Amino acid sequence: MSTLPATSQHAVVTIPTLSARAVLPWLAFAGLLMLVAMYFISAEQGATSLLSGTAVHEWVHDGRHLLGFPCH
């Protein structure tokens, strides 16, 4: 049976701080990517599409159903 020393040393954990100025551009970029992804998943159906044909619609077809978008 081992015994603990009378004085135990605790490791000091420092948590880095993030300023809003450093994080805000990354949040804006992530938000823009999400909006572009939502456009291609929800609105890109062929009638008013940015890309001709139905290729994008077929690529995201199952994802549309999982997110609850009707497409037929």
pLDDT in tens, 4-54: 666 667 888 899 898 999 999 999 999 999 998 887 777 756 555 566 666
Q: What local confidence, expressed as pLDDT, does residue 69 receive? A: 78
The structure tokens listed for 65 are 């159903």
Question: 57 lies in which domain range?
Answer: 40-72
Instruction: Look at residue 26 and tell me if it is in a domain.
Output: no
Number of domains the chain is built from: 1
Asked if pLDDT for residue 67 goes beyond 90, the answer is no
Per-residue confidence band for 68, with pLDDT thresholds at 50, 70 and 90 = confident
Q: What local confidence, expressed as pLDDT, does residue 21 receive? A: 92
Q: Which residue has the higher pLDDT, 60 or 27?
A: 27
Instruction: Look at residue 56 and tell me if it is in a domain.
Output: yes
**pTM across the whole model:** 0.53
Q: How many CB atoms lie within 10 A of CB 57?
A: 17
Distance between CA atoms of 41 and 63, rounded to whole angstroms?
A: 7
Instruction: Look at residue 50 and tell me if it is in a domain.
Output: yes
Which is nearest to 40 in space by CA: 31, 27, 49, 28?
49
Instruction: Look at residue 18 and tell me if it is in a domain.
Output: no
